[in-house]
Chains A and B, each alone.
Chain A
């Protein structure tokens, strides 16, 4: 019974002592500084006991030297009481924070010098990082998600990033990426070079995204809608220059892509066997895509902290005309038939960006795109040589609503608008149903609403609803997504999600999917 009273007494002491300490303003270390919380936490666990004279001093401020002395006392005490690993980590951070004061006080800290040496060694050295991802999916066999035989388990990504800070003017970045049983490929490899007059250049295989502010994703960008034109990852064999100025920047790039011939589906002995023996009549498309250059330029300007505009231009310039042929076997005449077609497929996109921040938590964003398509893109179904697209977005941060982030996007796409780089709404399916190849098949409007919430450091959730209203018969569809993520540590998390498709265009049974992901960063 006495034990219980003793415990109550200790609990009461802790209850009163902790707020007294918490109210203690280490004036050199503001309340919103990590060191304040760290010391308070150490105090709560009994490692830090107060000022050097042993007394809490209410609201009286302390100097950094006084606080360093507290840390020094804690260091001495830790050895005796063997604190937890978490407390030791915290102390280590505090030691680094107050290193100069501790040095001045003559406090010797084991391993501190070694830590600093490691730090110095890392400057200029090779640096490594990366991640690993395991994904399991379950869906009906007949489905829209690329899940075969109901279930698909795969280590779908392994990334290994390598960075070398060569000198003050040159940094080298390489990303090796593999997954799904494939070997590691050089995904990115580029050098960043600083020139005089604040000019920066990149050369190699590098990512380029001028529309990062205009598309939403989940917390980690797994299932994101994407840019309409850029977000090249990577832009192959390219050179990029940037010249920033006080309130804006000018950027330009030139990339070169190698063309080539291909058959779709792949032409093989099986196809030929079927042709010769008349088993079926498979049609094969032969395609020749010529080499091409991609040119891009961008001018961005901030009038002030609340008003941002940018003008962007990207042109695809092919060396020759694109050629294609439908290949099939004519059994009546015993002939292999080739029906050729093709044309000039050069095209360009000009677009403008606008961001208006109503305050620190609410922003309006808008984009307007117009394209100039050459003859190769036009036929009896696609007659518009200058299709346009636009989107308007209202974005609200979790700080404003106190319970969730909100992204509300409305977009309109003209028939014939070309997505040359990526299908921007591919997350909802393996490929958007309103696309014909890379072209919008009919006028389409998109409503995309994403609500993301960080409940605390461990639990995050998001819900998304996307509606595709396509100006064609039985072509509308929608997608619901809900996900729960648990951050077991900052470098390991689990995510469980559910996707549901619906609408006139969804005819197969497999219209829903459950997925589970594990991600580890290093």
Chain B
């Protein structure tokens, strides 16, 4: 290929030399954010999906803490709020960003356009940002929450899963040429349970326990009400029986 290789190799060398720039947090954050680009002779669409792994969440929290020079307490408060927002206790959160430079996107109903594959089964989202249903002509991003536990058995879906795959339907835009966007993450070494250790985890557990207590107290109240009704009924019947015996 004659002299044309020389600039090629020069570019390659420059490239690898410059890769050392990335900070440690950025490399972790980038690892869980994947982008797929679609182009259709004049139209283009970029879809970025971010999987909220334990590693990603820890890196996000630590980056914020470093940036803002937080104390341990402030970091714990931030982490607590962050985890609470993500609904990690019963959801698998994924953030989706769309950068559209083509005809308008129409993704409604969005809940029917994305799926998460875990262990050979495909799951639809249990909740998502309603703005993803809007017509989109530029950029939009929103959270999508997939179920974390099997509806029937209550089993943790991520337990034993080596990889998860997110799919976005090619029907949302003709720019995708009817091709599904696929994002694969290796999650075998991810440990979401570790997030719930420490003060933030203790607060979240306390929140859960408070909710559970409220629910149990409500049930107790209901049952006590029913017991009172039954007691009243029994007394009424006994009184009537006594009346009948007297006749």
Residues of chain B in range 86-113 having any CB-CB distance to chain A below 8 Å: 100-106, 108-109, 112
- Whether B178 pairs with A131 at a CB distance below 8 angstroms is no
User: What mask results when residues 172 to 208 of chain B are scored 1 for a CB within 8 Å of chain A, else 0?
Assistant: 0010011110101110000000000000000000000
Interface residue? B60 (CB, 8 A): yes
Interface residue? A349 (CB, 8 A): no
Given contacts A96-B130, A208-B178, A221-B43, contact A491 B15 (CB under 8 A): no
A102 to B186, CA, bound (A): 38
A212 to B177, CA, bound (A): 10
A306: chain B residues at CB < 8 Å are: 186
A263 to B2, CA, bound (A): 42
A141 to B68, CA, bound (A): 62
A133 to B108, CA, bound (A): 27
Smallest CB separation, B216 vs chain A (Å): 24
**Stretch of A160-168, A287-295, A316-324, A430-438 with 4 or more beta carbons under 8 angstroms from chain B:** A160-168
User: What mask results when residues 7 to 21 of chain B are scored 1 for a CB within 8 Å of chain A, else 0?
Assistant: 110011001001101
A63 to B186, CA, bound (A): 32
- Whether A221 pairs with B41 at a CB distance below 8 angstroms is yes
Q: Which of B4, B84, B102, B185 contacts A131 (CB 8 A)?
A: B102
A93, A123, A175 interface centre (most CB from chain B within 10 Å)? A123
- Whether A522 pairs with B104 at a CB distance below 8 angstroms is yes
**Stretch of B114-122, B146-154, B217-225, B227-235 with 4 or more beta carbons under 8 angstroms from chain A:** B114-122
A334 to B121, CA, bound (A): 75
- Whether A447 pairs with B131 at a CB distance below 8 angstroms is no
A245: chain B residues at CB < 8 Å are: 120
User: What mask results when residues 19 to 40 of chain A are scored 1 for a CB within 8 Å of chain B, else 0?
Assistant: 0000101011111101000000
Interface residue? B1 (CB, 8 A): yes
Q: Which of B60, B68, B162 contacts A59 (CB 8 A)?
A: B68
**Stretch of A4-12, A103-111, A393-401 with 4 or more beta carbons under 8 angstroms from chain B:** A393-401
User: What mask results when residues 304 to 337 of chain A are scored 1 for a CB within 8 Å of chain B, else 0?
Assistant: 1110000000000000000000000000000000
A27 to B42, CA, bound (A): 40
A231 to B8, CA, bound (A): 28
User: What mask results when residues 118 to 137 of chain A are scored 1 for a CB within 8 Å of chain B, else 0?
Assistant: 01001100011111010000
A190 to B141, CA, bound (A): 28
A242: chain B residues at CB < 8 Å are: 180
A220: chain B residues at CB < 8 Å are: 39, 41-44, 101-102
A478: chain B residues at CB < 8 Å are: 4
A156 to B185, CA, bound (A): 41
B141: chain A residues at CB < 8 Å are: 34
- Whether B1 pairs with A447 at a CB distance below 8 angstroms is yes
Q: Which chain B residues have a beta carbon within 8 Å of chain A's beta carbons?
A: 1-2, 4-5, 7-8, 11-12, 15, 18-19, 21-22, 27, 30-31, 33-35, 38-44, 60, 64, 67-68, 70-71, 74, 77-78, 80-82, 84-85, 100-106, 108-109, 112, 117-122, 129-131, 133-135, 137-139, 141, 162-163, 165, 167, 171, 174, 177-180, 182, 184-186
- 8 nearest A-B pairs in the assembled complex, by CB-CB distance: A27-B81, A221-B39, A490-B138, A129-B103, A129-B104, A127-B106, A207-B177, A305-B184
Query: What are 29 sample pairs from A and B whose C-beta atoms fall under 8 A apart?
Result: A23-B68, A25-B81, A27-B78, A31-B60, A119-B134, A122-B108, A129-B106, A129-B135, A159-B103, A173-B171, A198-B122, A207-B40, A220-B41, A221-B41, A221-B43, A224-B41, A247-B117, A360-B27, A360-B33, A400-B19, A447-B4, A449-B8, A449-B11, A465-B4, A478-B4, A519-B42, A521-B102, A521-B104, A522-B104
